[in-house]
Amino acid sequence: MEWKDGITSSLPIEMASFLAPGSTFQDKKIVSQTKHERQNVHIISLERVDKASGHYQYLYKTDHGLMKFSGFELARTLLFHNPHLVRAAYTANGVGGLTLVHHDQSPIEISFPESTLYPLRFIKSKSTRTHLAWLVLDVEAKKSAHSVFESFNKGQGELGFKFVPPNLEGWLLEVSVRADSEDIAEVVRVENILEAVFNEGAADVLVSHPKDKDQSSKDKIDAAKKGQTPADDTDPELELGEIPRLGKRLHIERSKGFSFGCSAIRSVKSSKGKKASGSKHSPPAEAPDIEKEKAGVGLIEKDGNAQEFSPTINQDEEITDTVYLPQKFRLFGEVIEEVGKSDGIKLFQKAKCYRFPAPANQSKVVYKTQYEGRLKYFVAILELTGSQLVLVEADTSNLRTPKGASTLILGLKEDAKANFEEILQSFSDKGAQWSHDFINERCYFFNPCRHPPLKEKGKIRTDQEYKEKWVSDLREKLRLFRKPS
Protein backbone atom coordinates (compact mmCIF):
# COMPACT_ATOMS: atom_id res chain seq x y z
CA MET A 1 0.00 0.00 0.00
CA GLU A 2 1.44 3.39 -1.00
CA TRP A 3 0.41 6.44 1.02
CA LYS A 4 -0.01 10.01 -0.24
CA ASP A 5 3.48 10.97 0.95
CA GLY A 6 5.04 8.13 -1.06
CA ILE A 7 5.69 5.87 1.92
CA THR A 8 4.66 2.23 1.49
CA SER A 9 3.51 -0.03 4.30
CA SER A 10 1.31 -3.03 5.04
CA LEU A 11 -2.35 -3.04 6.10
CA PRO A 12 -4.36 -5.47 8.24
CA ILE A 13 -5.40 -8.52 6.20
CA GLU A 14 -9.06 -7.77 7.07
CA MET A 15 -8.80 -4.89 4.57
CA ALA A 16 -8.13 -7.37 1.73
CA SER A 17 -11.54 -7.07 0.04
CA PHE A 18 -10.96 -3.36 -0.65
CA LEU A 19 -7.38 -3.66 -1.90
CA ALA A 20 -8.17 -3.78 -5.61
CA PRO A 21 -5.11 -2.72 -7.67
CA GLY A 22 -5.27 0.84 -8.96
CA SER A 23 -7.60 2.07 -6.20
CA THR A 24 -7.17 5.42 -4.44
CA PHE A 25 -8.61 5.80 -0.93
CA GLN A 26 -9.68 8.72 1.21
CA ASP A 27 -10.29 7.60 4.79
CA LYS A 28 -12.63 4.59 4.42
CA LYS A 29 -13.80 5.08 0.85
CA ILE A 30 -12.48 4.21 -2.60
CA VAL A 31 -12.55 7.59 -4.37
CA SER A 32 -11.15 6.51 -7.75
CA GLN A 33 -9.76 3.59 -9.72
CA THR A 34 -7.44 3.49 -12.70
CA LYS A 35 -9.27 3.01 -16.01
CA HIS A 36 -8.47 0.05 -18.23
CA GLU A 37 -10.15 -1.86 -21.03
CA ARG A 38 -12.86 -4.20 -19.72
CA GLN A 39 -13.39 -7.62 -21.27
CA ASN A 40 -15.60 -10.64 -20.58
CA VAL A 41 -13.30 -13.66 -20.82
CA HIS A 42 -13.84 -17.42 -20.74
CA ILE A 43 -11.05 -19.32 -19.00
CA ILE A 44 -9.88 -22.23 -21.17
CA SER A 45 -6.92 -23.62 -19.23
CA LEU A 46 -4.10 -22.83 -16.81
CA GLU A 47 -0.87 -22.60 -18.82
CA ARG A 48 1.72 -22.03 -16.10
CA VAL A 49 2.42 -20.53 -12.68
CA ASP A 50 5.14 -17.90 -12.26
CA LYS A 51 6.80 -18.53 -8.89
CA ALA A 52 9.77 -16.23 -9.49
CA SER A 53 8.65 -13.95 -6.67
CA GLY A 54 6.92 -14.70 -3.39
CA HIS A 55 3.65 -13.54 -4.94
CA TYR A 56 2.47 -16.17 -7.40
CA GLN A 57 1.27 -15.13 -10.87
CA TYR A 58 -1.10 -17.36 -12.86
CA LEU A 59 -1.08 -17.43 -16.67
CA TYR A 60 -4.37 -18.56 -18.20
CA LYS A 61 -5.38 -19.27 -21.78
CA THR A 62 -8.66 -17.46 -22.50
CA ASP A 63 -10.87 -16.80 -25.52
CA HIS A 64 -9.11 -13.40 -25.65
CA GLY A 65 -5.60 -14.87 -25.59
CA LEU A 66 -3.14 -15.33 -22.72
CA MET A 67 -3.84 -13.38 -19.53
CA LYS A 68 -1.81 -13.06 -16.35
CA PHE A 69 -3.57 -12.87 -12.95
CA SER A 70 -1.96 -12.14 -9.59
CA GLY A 71 -2.67 -14.70 -6.88
CA PHE A 72 -3.79 -11.98 -4.47
CA GLU A 73 -6.35 -10.51 -6.88
CA LEU A 74 -7.80 -13.99 -7.43
CA ALA A 75 -7.97 -14.57 -3.66
CA ARG A 76 -9.56 -11.14 -3.11
CA THR A 77 -12.40 -11.83 -5.53
CA LEU A 78 -12.81 -15.57 -4.93
CA LEU A 79 -12.51 -15.64 -1.13
CA PHE A 80 -11.90 -12.35 0.64
CA HIS A 81 -15.35 -10.73 0.31
CA ASN A 82 -15.51 -9.56 3.94
CA PRO A 83 -13.29 -9.66 7.07
CA HIS A 84 -15.03 -12.75 8.50
CA LEU A 85 -14.22 -14.78 5.39
CA VAL A 86 -10.65 -13.43 5.41
CA ARG A 87 -10.06 -14.47 9.02
CA ALA A 88 -11.67 -17.87 8.41
CA ALA A 89 -9.27 -18.55 5.53
CA TYR A 90 -6.33 -18.05 7.91
CA THR A 91 -7.58 -20.69 10.39
CA ALA A 92 -7.15 -24.46 10.30
CA ASN A 93 -10.93 -25.06 10.09
CA GLY A 94 -11.22 -22.63 7.21
CA VAL A 95 -14.47 -21.23 5.87
CA GLY A 96 -16.18 -24.54 6.66
CA GLY A 97 -15.77 -23.76 10.35
CA LEU A 98 -18.28 -20.91 10.06
CA THR A 99 -21.30 -23.07 9.23
CA LEU A 100 -22.97 -26.46 9.51
CA VAL A 101 -23.98 -28.19 6.27
CA HIS A 102 -26.94 -30.60 6.07
CA HIS A 103 -26.42 -32.62 2.87
CA ASP A 104 -29.10 -35.19 3.70
CA GLN A 105 -32.03 -32.95 2.84
CA SER A 106 -33.37 -31.07 -0.13
CA PRO A 107 -32.67 -28.26 -0.49
CA ILE A 108 -29.22 -28.55 1.09
CA GLU A 109 -29.19 -26.41 4.25
CA ILE A 110 -26.25 -24.25 5.29
CA SER A 111 -26.84 -23.03 8.84
CA PHE A 112 -24.93 -20.71 11.14
CA PRO A 113 -24.72 -21.78 14.81
CA GLU A 114 -26.53 -19.79 17.51
CA SER A 115 -23.20 -18.39 18.73
CA THR A 116 -22.15 -17.08 15.31
CA LEU A 117 -20.57 -13.64 14.97
CA TYR A 118 -21.10 -13.66 11.20
CA PRO A 119 -23.35 -10.65 10.41
CA LEU A 120 -26.77 -11.42 8.97
CA ARG A 121 -26.41 -8.61 6.44
CA PHE A 122 -23.57 -10.56 4.76
CA ILE A 123 -26.11 -13.12 3.46
CA LYS A 124 -28.95 -10.73 2.61
CA SER A 125 -28.46 -10.74 -1.18
CA LYS A 126 -28.63 -13.69 -3.56
CA SER A 127 -25.07 -13.00 -4.71
CA THR A 128 -23.65 -13.26 -1.17
CA ARG A 129 -25.58 -16.46 -0.46
CA THR A 130 -24.45 -17.95 -3.78
CA HIS A 131 -20.83 -17.17 -2.93
CA LEU A 132 -21.16 -18.66 0.55
CA ALA A 133 -22.76 -21.82 -0.86
CA TRP A 134 -19.94 -22.21 -3.39
CA LEU A 135 -17.30 -21.71 -0.68
CA VAL A 136 -18.65 -24.31 1.74
CA LEU A 137 -19.98 -26.91 -0.74
CA ASP A 138 -17.51 -26.98 -3.65
CA VAL A 139 -14.49 -29.23 -3.09
CA GLU A 140 -12.23 -27.03 -5.28
CA ALA A 141 -13.26 -23.94 -3.31
CA LYS A 142 -12.47 -25.60 0.02
CA LYS A 143 -9.03 -26.78 -1.17
CA SER A 144 -8.27 -23.32 -2.51
CA ALA A 145 -9.28 -21.58 0.73
CA HIS A 146 -7.13 -24.02 2.73
CA SER A 147 -4.09 -23.05 0.63
CA VAL A 148 -4.19 -19.61 2.29
CA PHE A 149 -3.78 -21.20 5.72
CA GLU A 150 -1.09 -23.60 4.49
CA SER A 151 0.92 -20.80 2.88
CA PHE A 152 0.66 -18.70 6.04
CA ASN A 153 1.49 -21.62 8.34
CA LYS A 154 4.52 -22.84 6.37
CA GLY A 155 5.88 -19.44 5.40
CA GLN A 156 6.28 -17.78 8.81
CA GLY A 157 8.27 -14.58 8.34
CA GLU A 158 7.77 -14.50 4.56
CA LEU A 159 5.78 -11.75 2.88
CA GLY A 160 4.91 -13.78 -0.22
CA PHE A 161 1.32 -14.75 -1.00
CA LYS A 162 1.18 -18.31 -2.37
CA PHE A 163 -2.55 -18.73 -2.86
CA VAL A 164 -3.63 -21.67 -5.05
CA PRO A 165 -6.88 -20.86 -6.91
CA PRO A 166 -9.46 -23.51 -7.80
CA ASN A 167 -9.59 -24.94 -11.29
CA LEU A 168 -11.02 -21.99 -13.25
CA GLU A 169 -11.53 -23.86 -16.51
CA GLY A 170 -14.94 -22.89 -17.88
CA TRP A 171 -15.35 -19.78 -15.71
CA LEU A 172 -16.58 -16.48 -17.19
CA LEU A 173 -14.99 -13.36 -15.71
CA GLU A 174 -15.22 -9.63 -16.34
CA VAL A 175 -11.71 -8.20 -16.08
CA SER A 176 -9.85 -4.90 -16.53
CA VAL A 177 -6.70 -5.53 -18.58
CA ARG A 178 -3.62 -3.76 -19.89
CA ALA A 179 -1.02 -4.99 -22.37
CA ASP A 180 1.94 -6.65 -20.64
CA SER A 181 3.70 -7.83 -23.81
CA GLU A 182 2.71 -8.52 -27.41
CA ASP A 183 1.02 -11.81 -26.59
CA ILE A 184 0.12 -11.51 -22.88
CA ALA A 185 -2.40 -9.19 -21.22
CA GLU A 186 -2.11 -8.35 -17.53
CA VAL A 187 -5.34 -8.51 -15.53
CA VAL A 188 -5.31 -5.43 -13.30
CA ARG A 189 -8.61 -6.21 -11.56
CA VAL A 190 -11.28 -8.88 -11.62
CA GLU A 191 -14.41 -6.71 -11.88
CA ASN A 192 -17.06 -9.46 -11.71
CA ILE A 193 -17.34 -13.23 -11.58
CA LEU A 194 -20.10 -13.67 -14.13
CA GLU A 195 -20.26 -17.47 -14.05
CA ALA A 196 -18.45 -19.77 -11.63
CA VAL A 197 -18.22 -23.52 -12.16
CA PHE A 198 -19.83 -25.58 -9.38
CA ASN A 199 -18.21 -29.03 -9.24
CA GLU A 200 -20.92 -30.69 -7.14
CA GLY A 201 -23.66 -30.64 -9.79
CA ALA A 202 -26.77 -28.44 -9.80
CA ALA A 203 -28.17 -27.80 -6.33
CA ASP A 204 -30.85 -25.91 -4.43
CA VAL A 205 -29.58 -24.35 -1.21
CA LEU A 206 -31.19 -22.88 1.91
CA VAL A 207 -29.11 -20.57 4.13
CA SER A 208 -30.29 -20.10 7.72
CA HIS A 209 -29.02 -17.61 10.30
CA PRO A 210 -30.20 -17.40 13.94
CA LYS A 211 -30.79 -13.65 13.64
CA ASP A 212 -32.89 -13.88 10.48
CA LYS A 213 -36.30 -13.34 12.08
CA ASP A 214 -39.66 -13.30 10.35
CA GLN A 215 -40.85 -9.74 10.82
CA SER A 216 -43.53 -8.06 8.74
CA SER A 217 -43.50 -4.41 7.78
CA LYS A 218 -46.35 -3.77 10.25
CA ASP A 219 -44.32 -5.38 13.05
CA LYS A 220 -41.45 -3.06 12.25
CA ILE A 221 -43.67 0.01 12.32
CA ASP A 222 -45.21 -1.04 15.65
CA ALA A 223 -41.80 -1.81 17.12
CA ALA A 224 -40.51 1.59 16.09
CA LYS A 225 -43.10 3.23 18.37
CA LYS A 226 -41.75 1.54 21.50
CA GLY A 227 -38.73 3.69 22.11
CA GLN A 228 -35.57 5.26 20.82
CA THR A 229 -31.92 4.28 20.88
CA PRO A 230 -29.00 6.65 21.27
CA ALA A 231 -27.62 7.86 17.96
CA ASP A 232 -24.43 6.26 16.65
CA ASP A 233 -21.74 8.00 14.66
CA THR A 234 -22.58 6.65 11.20
CA ASP A 235 -19.38 8.03 9.67
CA PRO A 236 -16.53 7.23 12.07
CA GLU A 237 -12.97 8.09 11.11
CA LEU A 238 -10.84 5.07 10.21
CA GLU A 239 -7.92 4.65 12.61
CA LEU A 240 -5.96 1.45 11.96
CA GLY A 241 -4.45 1.41 15.44
CA GLU A 242 -7.79 1.42 17.26
CA ILE A 243 -9.25 -1.82 18.67
CA PRO A 244 -12.95 -2.57 17.97
CA ARG A 245 -15.02 -2.96 21.12
CA LEU A 246 -17.53 -5.70 21.84
CA GLY A 247 -21.07 -4.30 21.55
CA LYS A 248 -20.08 -1.29 19.45
CA ARG A 249 -21.74 -0.55 16.13
CA LEU A 250 -20.51 -2.54 13.11
CA HIS A 251 -19.51 -0.04 10.43
CA ILE A 252 -19.81 -1.70 7.02
CA GLU A 253 -18.24 -0.01 3.99
CA ARG A 254 -19.41 -1.56 0.71
CA SER A 255 -17.42 -1.42 -2.49
CA LYS A 256 -20.15 -1.51 -5.13
CA GLY A 257 -20.15 -3.08 -8.56
CA PHE A 258 -18.71 -6.55 -7.89
CA SER A 259 -20.91 -9.65 -7.91
CA PHE A 260 -20.45 -13.42 -7.85
CA GLY A 261 -22.63 -15.57 -10.10
CA CYS A 262 -23.03 -19.35 -10.33
CA SER A 263 -26.11 -20.58 -12.17
CA ALA A 264 -25.56 -24.22 -11.09
CA ILE A 265 -26.54 -23.15 -7.58
CA ARG A 266 -30.07 -22.75 -8.84
CA SER A 267 -31.96 -21.48 -5.83
CA VAL A 268 -30.20 -20.07 -2.80
CA LYS A 269 -32.83 -18.77 -0.44
CA SER A 270 -32.64 -17.41 3.08
CA SER A 271 -34.53 -19.28 5.81
CA LYS A 272 -36.62 -17.23 8.24
CA GLY A 273 -36.45 -18.10 11.92
CA LYS A 274 -38.96 -17.41 14.68
CA LYS A 275 -41.07 -14.29 14.51
CA ALA A 276 -39.26 -11.25 15.87
CA SER A 277 -40.38 -10.06 19.29
CA GLY A 278 -41.10 -6.51 18.18
CA SER A 279 -39.08 -4.99 21.02
CA LYS A 280 -36.67 -3.06 18.85
CA HIS A 281 -36.19 0.66 19.27
CA SER A 282 -36.22 3.27 16.58
CA PRO A 283 -33.51 5.81 15.86
CA PRO A 284 -34.09 9.35 17.18
CA ALA A 285 -36.73 11.38 15.36
CA GLU A 286 -34.58 14.50 15.40
CA ALA A 287 -30.90 14.89 14.62
CA PRO A 288 -29.07 14.77 17.98
CA ASP A 289 -25.55 15.79 18.87
CA ILE A 290 -23.46 12.78 17.90
CA GLU A 291 -20.12 12.10 19.52
CA LYS A 292 -17.46 11.43 16.88
CA GLU A 293 -15.98 7.95 17.04
CA LYS A 294 -13.16 5.96 15.50
CA ALA A 295 -13.40 2.77 13.47
CA GLY A 296 -10.78 0.07 13.93
CA VAL A 297 -9.86 -3.10 12.05
CA GLY A 298 -9.55 -6.58 13.54
CA LEU A 299 -11.15 -8.80 16.16
CA ILE A 300 -13.51 -7.15 18.63
CA GLU A 301 -12.35 -7.03 22.26
CA LYS A 302 -14.10 -6.26 25.53
CA ASP A 303 -11.67 -3.43 26.29
CA GLY A 304 -11.68 -1.96 22.78
CA ASN A 305 -12.72 1.64 22.13
CA ALA A 306 -13.82 1.81 18.48
CA GLN A 307 -16.49 0.64 16.08
CA GLU A 308 -15.59 -2.44 14.03
CA PHE A 309 -14.70 -1.44 10.45
CA SER A 310 -15.84 -4.09 7.98
CA PRO A 311 -14.94 -3.49 4.30
CA THR A 312 -16.91 -5.76 1.95
CA ILE A 313 -17.52 -6.56 -1.71
CA ASN A 314 -20.31 -8.56 -3.40
CA GLN A 315 -22.94 -6.64 -1.39
CA ASP A 316 -25.03 -4.99 -4.12
CA GLU A 317 -28.65 -5.53 -3.11
CA GLU A 318 -30.32 -6.81 -6.26
CA ILE A 319 -33.84 -8.05 -5.58
CA THR A 320 -34.09 -11.33 -7.51
CA ASP A 321 -36.97 -13.26 -5.89
CA THR A 322 -40.00 -12.52 -8.08
CA VAL A 323 -42.46 -12.93 -5.21
CA TYR A 324 -40.99 -9.83 -3.54
CA LEU A 325 -40.92 -7.68 -6.68
CA PRO A 326 -43.52 -4.93 -7.05
CA GLN A 327 -46.03 -5.47 -9.85
CA LYS A 328 -44.85 -2.22 -11.38
CA PHE A 329 -41.40 -3.72 -11.88
CA ARG A 330 -42.78 -6.37 -14.22
CA LEU A 331 -44.54 -3.68 -16.25
CA PHE A 332 -41.37 -1.56 -16.30
CA GLY A 333 -39.43 -4.57 -17.62
CA GLU A 334 -42.00 -5.23 -20.36
CA VAL A 335 -41.99 -1.57 -21.42
CA ILE A 336 -38.19 -1.44 -21.59
CA GLU A 337 -38.03 -4.64 -23.65
CA GLU A 338 -40.56 -3.19 -26.10
CA VAL A 339 -38.63 0.08 -26.39
CA GLY A 340 -35.46 -1.97 -26.95
CA LYS A 341 -36.99 -3.40 -30.14
CA SER A 342 -37.30 0.07 -31.71
CA ASP A 343 -35.20 1.07 -34.73
CA GLY A 344 -31.77 2.33 -33.66
CA ILE A 345 -32.29 1.23 -30.05
CA LYS A 346 -30.77 -1.87 -28.45
CA LEU A 347 -31.53 -3.37 -25.04
CA PHE A 348 -28.08 -3.50 -23.42
CA GLN A 349 -29.16 -4.60 -19.92
CA LYS A 350 -32.62 -5.85 -19.07
CA ALA A 351 -34.54 -4.40 -16.13
CA LYS A 352 -33.20 -5.17 -12.66
CA CYS A 353 -34.45 -4.25 -9.21
CA TYR A 354 -32.29 -2.96 -6.34
CA ARG A 355 -32.72 -1.06 -3.08
CA PHE A 356 -31.73 2.57 -2.63
CA PRO A 357 -28.65 3.07 -0.44
CA ALA A 358 -29.07 3.89 3.22
CA PRO A 359 -29.25 7.67 3.82
CA ALA A 360 -26.00 9.28 4.93
CA ASN A 361 -27.99 11.72 7.08
CA GLN A 362 -31.02 11.47 9.39
CA SER A 363 -33.60 11.14 6.58
CA LYS A 364 -35.87 8.10 7.06
CA VAL A 365 -38.27 8.33 4.08
CA VAL A 366 -36.72 5.46 2.07
CA TYR A 367 -37.45 3.17 5.04
CA LYS A 368 -41.17 4.06 5.11
CA THR A 369 -42.34 1.51 2.55
CA GLN A 370 -45.30 -0.83 2.20
CA TYR A 371 -42.91 -3.80 2.13
CA GLU A 372 -39.89 -4.95 4.12
CA GLY A 373 -36.65 -3.00 3.76
CA ARG A 374 -35.62 0.19 2.00
CA LEU A 375 -37.36 1.57 -1.07
CA LYS A 376 -36.63 -0.25 -4.33
CA TYR A 377 -35.68 1.17 -7.70
CA PHE A 378 -35.71 -0.30 -11.19
CA VAL A 379 -32.90 0.18 -13.70
CA ALA A 380 -32.18 -0.85 -17.28
CA ILE A 381 -29.69 0.22 -19.95
CA LEU A 382 -30.42 1.01 -23.59
CA GLU A 383 -27.86 1.60 -26.33
CA LEU A 384 -28.37 4.33 -28.95
CA THR A 385 -25.79 5.24 -31.63
CA GLY A 386 -23.08 3.53 -29.60
CA SER A 387 -23.92 5.37 -26.37
CA GLN A 388 -25.44 3.80 -23.27
CA LEU A 389 -28.41 5.45 -21.57
CA VAL A 390 -29.51 4.41 -18.09
CA LEU A 391 -33.25 4.32 -17.37
CA VAL A 392 -34.05 4.41 -13.66
CA GLU A 393 -37.28 4.63 -11.73
CA ALA A 394 -38.00 4.82 -8.00
CA ASP A 395 -40.81 2.63 -6.65
CA THR A 396 -42.43 5.65 -5.00
CA SER A 397 -45.96 4.25 -5.38
CA ASN A 398 -45.01 1.80 -2.60
CA LEU A 399 -44.03 4.42 -0.06
CA ARG A 400 -46.43 4.56 2.88
CA THR A 401 -47.28 8.03 1.53
CA PRO A 402 -47.22 7.29 -2.22
CA LYS A 403 -45.75 9.78 -4.68
CA GLY A 404 -46.05 10.20 -8.43
CA ALA A 405 -43.43 8.49 -10.57
CA SER A 406 -41.38 9.17 -13.66
CA THR A 407 -38.72 7.30 -15.59
CA LEU A 408 -35.38 9.13 -15.68
CA ILE A 409 -33.27 8.80 -18.82
CA LEU A 410 -29.61 9.40 -17.95
CA GLY A 411 -26.61 9.84 -20.20
CA LEU A 412 -23.99 9.71 -17.46
CA LYS A 413 -20.74 11.62 -17.70
CA GLU A 414 -17.29 10.02 -17.40
CA ASP A 415 -17.00 7.65 -14.42
CA ALA A 416 -20.63 6.68 -14.93
CA LYS A 417 -20.66 4.22 -12.02
CA ALA A 418 -19.63 6.86 -9.47
CA ASN A 419 -22.05 9.45 -10.89
CA PHE A 420 -24.96 6.99 -10.80
CA GLU A 421 -24.20 6.00 -7.20
CA GLU A 422 -24.09 9.68 -6.19
CA ILE A 423 -27.49 10.28 -7.83
CA LEU A 424 -29.01 7.34 -5.92
CA GLN A 425 -27.43 8.51 -2.66
CA SER A 426 -28.80 12.02 -3.20
CA PHE A 427 -32.31 10.56 -3.62
CA SER A 428 -32.03 8.76 -0.26
CA ASP A 429 -30.55 11.78 1.50
CA LYS A 430 -33.21 14.17 0.15
CA GLY A 431 -36.20 12.23 1.48
CA ALA A 432 -36.92 10.14 -1.65
CA GLN A 433 -36.74 13.11 -4.02
CA TRP A 434 -34.76 13.48 -7.24
CA SER A 435 -32.72 16.68 -7.47
CA HIS A 436 -32.72 17.65 -11.15
CA ASP A 437 -29.89 20.15 -10.70
CA PHE A 438 -27.78 17.49 -8.97
CA ILE A 439 -28.53 15.01 -11.78
CA ASN A 440 -27.76 17.53 -14.54
CA GLU A 441 -24.29 18.10 -13.10
CA ARG A 442 -23.53 14.38 -13.54
CA CYS A 443 -25.11 13.80 -16.95
CA TYR A 444 -24.48 15.00 -20.49
CA PHE A 445 -28.09 14.03 -21.27
CA PHE A 446 -31.01 14.00 -18.82
CA ASN A 447 -34.68 13.72 -19.65
CA PRO A 448 -37.43 12.61 -17.24
CA CYS A 449 -40.47 10.86 -18.68
CA ARG A 450 -43.63 11.09 -16.57
CA HIS A 451 -45.95 8.10 -16.40
CA PRO A 452 -49.03 8.29 -18.63
CA PRO A 453 -52.27 9.36 -16.93
CA LEU A 454 -54.57 6.49 -15.98
CA LYS A 455 -57.41 8.07 -17.95
CA GLU A 456 -57.70 9.27 -21.54
CA LYS A 457 -60.64 11.55 -22.34
CA GLY A 458 -62.34 10.47 -19.12
CA LYS A 459 -62.00 6.77 -19.89
CA ILE A 460 -59.69 4.51 -17.86
CA ARG A 461 -56.95 2.98 -20.01
CA THR A 462 -56.66 -0.79 -20.17
CA ASP A 463 -53.35 -2.33 -19.05
CA GLN A 464 -52.33 -2.78 -22.69
CA GLU A 465 -53.26 0.81 -23.59
CA TYR A 466 -51.30 2.11 -20.59
CA LYS A 467 -48.26 0.08 -21.57
CA GLU A 468 -48.44 1.21 -25.22
CA LYS A 469 -48.68 4.86 -24.16
CA TRP A 470 -45.68 4.48 -21.83
CA VAL A 471 -43.63 2.88 -24.64
CA SER A 472 -44.64 5.67 -27.02
CA ASP A 473 -43.72 8.41 -24.53
CA LEU A 474 -40.29 6.89 -23.87
CA ARG A 475 -39.58 6.63 -27.60
CA GLU A 476 -40.43 10.33 -27.99
CA LYS A 477 -38.04 11.27 -25.18
CA LEU A 478 -35.27 9.08 -26.62
CA ARG A 479 -35.58 10.77 -30.02
CA LEU A 480 -34.25 13.92 -28.35
CA PHE A 481 -30.94 12.20 -27.56
CA ARG A 482 -27.86 13.48 -29.34
CA LYS A 483 -24.53 11.72 -29.04
CA PRO A 484 -21.99 13.98 -27.25
CA SER A 485 -19.27 15.36 -29.51
Q: Tell me which of 203, 235, 254 is where a domain ends.
A: 254
- Are both 176 and 51 inside the same structural domain? yes
Q: Is residue 274 part of a domain?
A: no
Q: What pLDDT, on the 0 to 100 scale, is given for residue 413?
A: 92
Low-confidence ranges of the chain (pLDDT < 70): 1-10, 27-28, 155-160, 213-255, 272-311, 316-326
- Are both 248 and 326 inside the same structural domain? no
- Are both 326 and 208 inside the same structural domain? no
408 vs 429: CA distance, rounded Å:
18
Q: What pLDDT, on the 0 to 100 scale, is given for residue 211?
A: 86
Q: Is residue 361 part of a domain?
A: yes
- pTM equals 0.61
Q: Is residue 73 part of a domain?
A: yes
- Residues 405-414 have pLDDT tens digits of 789 999 999 8
Q: For residue 178, give its domain range.
A: 13-214+244-254
- Are both 36 and 172 inside the same structural domain? yes
- Are both 338 and 474 inside the same structural domain? yes
- Are both 341 and 468 inside the same structural domain? yes
- Are both 249 and 326 inside the same structural domain? no
- Are both 96 and 205 inside the same structural domain? yes
152 vs 431: CA distance, rounded Å:
48
- Are both 24 and 133 inside the same structural domain? yes
314 torsion bin: left (phi>0), alpha (psi -120 to 50), beta (else) = left
Q: Is residue 283 part of a domain?
A: no
Q: What pLDDT, on the 0 to 100 scale, is given for residue 193?
A: 93
Q: What pLDDT, on the 0 to 100 scale, is given for residue 388?
A: 93
9 torsion bin: left (phi>0), alpha (psi -120 to 50), beta (else) = beta
Q: Is residue 31 part of a domain?
A: yes
Q: Is residue 44 part of a domain?
A: yes
- Report long-range pairs for 103-109 (Cβ below 8 Å, ≥24 apart): 106/204, 107/203, 107/204, 107/205, 107/206, 107/267, 107/269, 108/133, 108/137, 108/203, 108/204, 108/205, 108/206, 109/205, 109/206, 109/207, 109/208, 109/271
Q: What pLDDT, on the 0 to 100 scale, is given for residue 225?
A: 43
Q: Is residue 302 part of a domain?
A: no
Q: What pLDDT, on the 0 to 100 scale, is given for residue 151?
A: 83
Q: Is residue 267 part of a domain?
A: no
Q: Tell me which of 254, 279, 304 is where a domain ends.
A: 254
Query: Under 8 Å CB-to-CB from 41, ≥6 apart: which residues?
Result: 62, 63, 64, 67, 172, 173, 174, 175
Convert 216-243 to b/e letters by CB count within 10 Å (16 or more is b). Answer: eeebbeebbeeeeeeebebebebbeebb
- Domain count for the chain: 2
Our measurement of the distance from residue 354's CA atom to the centroid of its chain's CA atoms, rounded to an integer in Å, reads 10
